[in-house]
Amino acid sequence: MIKGLLIAAFVAYCGWWLWQGPKHVSRPIAPPRPSDESAALAVLGLGAGADDEEIRAAHRRLLQAVHPDHGGSAELTRRVNAARDVLLKRRLGAD
């Protein structure tokens, strides 16, 4: 009887440990989103002399590839949108 209780306690502990997961595993840290013009241009794959139409066209083209509805990820979509916002706000003169 005591042997059965010990086995049950061990199985319960193992189940609890698996449910909690190991504490030493860390999640990868995502690279920062573009905050300056050169990083935003690199994300969109544009050169320094890109105008508003080229920015919008590159944004649209990349979104079709990285959008979560088309098999991409939400983080990539956020980065592409942030790059567009940085470049277009720069053009408009707003911060």
Reported as a single tens digit per residue, the pLDDT across 52-88 is: 999 999 999 999 888 888 888 888 888 899 899 989 8
In a domain, 23, yes or no: no
Whether the predicted pLDDT of 89 surpasses 80: yes
In a domain, 57, yes or no: yes
Confidence of residue 92 (pLDDT cuts 50, 70, 90): low
Whether the predicted pLDDT of 24 surpasses 60: no
Kindly write down the DSSP assignment for every residue of 34-75, as one continuous string: P-SHHHHHHHHT--TT--HHHHHHHHHHHHHHH-GGGT--HH
Name the domain count of the chain.
Answer: 1
Q: Give the separation between CA 83 and CA 21, rounded to whole angstroms.
A: 36
CATH of the domain at 48: 1.10.287.110
18-24 average pLDDT score: 62
CA-based end-to-end distance of the chain = 72
For 42, the domain range is 31-95
Amino acid at 85: D
Please give the model's pTM, rounded to 2 decimal places: 0.60
In a domain, 5, yes or no: no
